Chain A
């Protein structure tokens, strides 16, 4: 299995621009997570999907952030408009949803907003 795939790996954009991050979970996994990691705040859960349905989005910072999962093999995290404080590494993770299951992380997208 190829593992969790994220694209792009690096993104540099200017303040005010729209940014879209993409994730392909491990085939057969029915849970998907988006995380953000910064030096100041560490790893934070942004949103959790189960069977393509958003279950918990309480970690989404504000209305500028949105996430979708149109099917079991694809998810997007969009920031519109982007701000310099959104600069971080964004990780996608997936799990099988079984009892005591583990989350498998992608390589991350390093976002820099100028």
Chain B
């Protein structure tokens, strides 16, 4: 079983739409959670960390559900520039050097 699982998509949405991605993780002892964005043939870039209470950064909202072992990312008012692959990342409780990456969810925002 993979440590982190994501729906690969693609999610095809019109500009202005609200879209949500979920990610499940297998290790209940996981410590830290992140969403990264990766453009085609580029490096991943940190989008936001995910805190237990949930957090928001502009049009982006991340939530963590420890009981069900999933994290979510909500994007409101989608822009063309949001088109990318979104990676869910989870760290190991006992080794902060172990980052587990999901395979990513691809988002296409259409005009």
**A associates with B:** no
